[in-house]
Structure 1
Amino acid sequence: MQKSPQISAGIQDMFSQSTAVLSQPSVSTFERFEQRGGVQQAYIYVMVAAVVSALIAAFFALFHSEVTFFGQLFSRLILVPLGFAVFTGAVYYIGKALFKGTGTYAEVAYTFSLFFVPMSILGTLIGVIPVIGFLAAILISLANMYFGFLAVQSSMNIRTNGEALALLVLSGVAYFLVSVIVGGFLASLFIARAVLSGV
C-alpha cells in the first residue's frame, strides 16, 4: 500500500513549497502542493509563524512602554493560530455550503498555510518599523488577498472568479465577526482584572 502524501511534508519541505507559491503564484502552483500535507502539518507550520512572530513582537515590546513583553508573546501564540483556524474554517464551510466547493479542509488548511506563514512573519518583521510598518501592512494584506484568491480556487475547486472572490469576502466577514466577539471577551477579562486589582 502506497504511503499517503498527506503525511510526507516536513517544515523544510513546506518552506520550499512556500517559496514556490510566493515566487510563482498561480492556481496550478497551489494545486501542485495541496495534497502534500494535511491539517497537522498546516498547524505545525502556522505555529512556527506564531512563535517567530511572538518572539519578534515581544522583543520590540521591551522598548515600548505601552505594550508588554508577555502580552505580545502570549497574544500572538494564541491569536495567530486562532485567526488561521477561523478564516480557513470559514473558507471551507462557506465554500461547501454556498458554492458547492469540493475540496477538503486538509487541502484548504495546508494550501493557505503555504502563504500565510511567510507573510505573517514578514508582516511582523516590517510591522515594528514606524510609518513603514503601516504601509507594509496594507501591501501584505493585499498580497494575502491575492494569494487567498488563488488558494480558494485550488483547494475548494471553485474556478469562477466571482465565486472565489465572494467566498473570500464572506470568509473575511465571518473572521471579522469572530474577532469582534473574541476581542470583546478578552477586553472584558482585562477590564475585570483591572477592577479586581484596583487599578
Structure 2
Amino acid sequence: MNEFDFNKMISQSRQVLLNTSVETFEKFENDGGLKEALIYIAIATLISGLFGLGGGIKGMISNVIVTLFGFAAFSYLVHFMGNQQGGTSTLDQVAYSLALFWAPLSVLFSAIIFILVITIVGILFIPFVAIIGLIANVYYAYTAAQSSLNLTDKSKIWITLIVASLGWMVVKAFVSNFF
C-alpha cells in the first residue's frame, strides 16, 4: 500500500505543471491513490485558507471539509463517467492524477489573489486571475483525465469533465449548506 509522501507529491506536481503531457501524468498515476490525493488536497486547502482567514478558523475548517467532499465527488464522477465512455481507470489513478495539479494551482491562485487584495489596486485584476485559474484547471483536468482514463476521443473526455463538473457543483452546494 502507498504511504503519503508530501515531498514526492510536490516533486510530481512540479513535473506535471512544467511538463504537461499524457505521458507525464501516466508516469505518476500509480504512485498513490484516493487517500494520498485527499491528504494532499486537505493540506493545499489549509494553506490556501491561510491567505483568506477573513472567514476565521471555522470558515477555514468548513472550507477544507467542503473542498474534500467536492474533490472526492469530482474524482469519482470523472472515474465513473470516463469508464462509462470506454475509459479504463481506477478511482485511485484518477484522484491521484487530479490532485497533482489541483493542489498546487489552488495554493498558487490563492496567493496571487491575496497579494492583489492587499495591494488594493490589484483588486481590479482578480476577475482576470480567476479566469486564468479556471482555464489552467480545465487544461490540466483534460490532460489528467485523458491520461488516467486512457481515452483518446476528445468528445468523450469533454462529456466526462462536464458531467463531473456539474456533479461537483451540486455536491459542493449541498455540503456547503451544513457549514
The aligned amino acid for 1:16 is S
**Do residues 147 (structure 1) and 140 (structure 2) align?**
yes
Distance 1:175 1:54 in 2: 20
Given the alignment, which residue of 67, 76, 81 partners 2:63? 76
2:82/2:156 contact within 8 Å kept: no
- Note the residue ranges of structure 1 that are not aligned, 5 or more in a row: 1-5, 62-67, 190-199
Structure 1 position 125, deviation (Å):
1.2
Deviations 1:103-157 (A, max 9, x none): 0000001000000000111121122322222211110111100000001111111
What's 2:160 paired with? 167
Mean Cα displacement is larger for which, 33-42 or 104-113? 33-42
The equivalent residue for 1:196 is none
| Correspondence for 1:126 | 112
Alignment of 1:40 onto 2:26 = no
Looking at structure 2, the residues matched to 93 and 84 of structure 1 have their Cα atoms a distance apart, in angstroms, of 14
Q: Which has the higher contact order (CA 8 A, sep 6+)?
A: 2
Deviation of the 1:9 alpha carbon: 5.6
* Secondary structure of 1:7's aligned partner: coil
The count of corresponding residues between Structure 1 and Structure 2 is 172
TM-score normalized by structure 2?
A: 0.88
2:48 counterpart (39, 45, 53) = 53
Tell me the distance in 2 between the aligned counterparts of 1:150 and 1:138. 19
Of structures 1 and 2, the larger Rg is shown by 1
When normalised by structure 1's length, the TM-score is 0.80
The 1-side partners of 2:99 and 2:80 are apart by: 17
Show the counterpart of 1:181.
Answer: 174
Matches within 5 A, 1:59-98: 61=54, 68-97=55-84
Gaps of 5+ in 2: 117-122
Amino acid at match of 1:127: I
Identity %: 31
